[in-house]
Amino acid sequence: DAKTTQPNSMESNEEEPVHLPCNHSTISGTDYIHWYRQLPSQGPEYVIHGLTSNVNNRMASLAIAEDRKSSTLILHRATLRDAAVYYCILIYGQNFVFGPGTRLSVLP
Amino acid sequence: DAGITQSPRHKVTETGTPVTLRCHQTENHRYMYWYRQDPGHGLRLIHYSYGVKDTDKGEVSDGYSVSRSKTEDFLLTLESATSSQTSVYFCAISEFVGQIGGSPLHFGNGTRLTVT
């Protein structure tokens, strides 16, 4: 299985940057890296995805290591609304395989 | 937001009864997925579809069947509901852009199913 490893939980202070790491040492050369988040009582929400180059969008930035065996989701200024479970996933076959994710707490 | 509608949003049913959950999309995306989410297990794939009448099993497909007769609709059926199928069910859709994973996965709001 395409497998990712993330910390179980992280804490951040409001208005500070947050760096959420993900290891994916088994990634193949053509696998996209996706990040999603799930707020309490809601469905998962797309955050960002990339293949080789770093990516930016209105929600976050994705930094991909040169060997592609790890990536980091960067929230530039955490807000209380960013408290969620963040999932880093790879594609296995034709499927998006979700792991347990990182629970991010944001402290006021 | 991607146009995905799941129905019903909530359902309570008795053990042994058949149940069908519906996912409807207005995005004309090729791929559709059914996941279930349970405490301690995260999101697990039940079945997915890669086109009309083209479906395949996920990691927890036992006790479930699916059908996709139109691009926009993906149905999940529990032939004989059991208490272990009490869960929150999410539908998701994705385009195919070059390869799977080239386009985001978009989720519906979920169906909370309780089997008593």
Determine the pLDDT at residue B103: 86
Distance CA A69, CA A5 (A): 11
Q: Residue B4 in contact with residue B106, Cβ under 8 Å? A: yes
B49: distance to nearest CA of chain A, Å?
Answer: 10
CB-based contact A95 B48, cutoff 8 Å: yes
Mean per-residue pLDDT, B15-21 = 97
Within 8 A by CB and 6+ apart from B24, the residues are B4, B5, B6, B7, B72, B73
In terms of pLDDT, which residue wins out, B66 or A92?
B66
Task: Determine the Cα–Cα distance for residues B1 and B44; give it in Å rounded to an integer.
Answer: 23
The reported pLDDT for the residue numbered A1 is 53
**CB–CB contact A98 B110 (8 Å):** no
Mutate to test the interface with A, among B105, B106, B109, B112 (most CBs of A within 10 A): B105
Q: Report strand pairing: B54-57 vs B42-51.
A: antiparallel
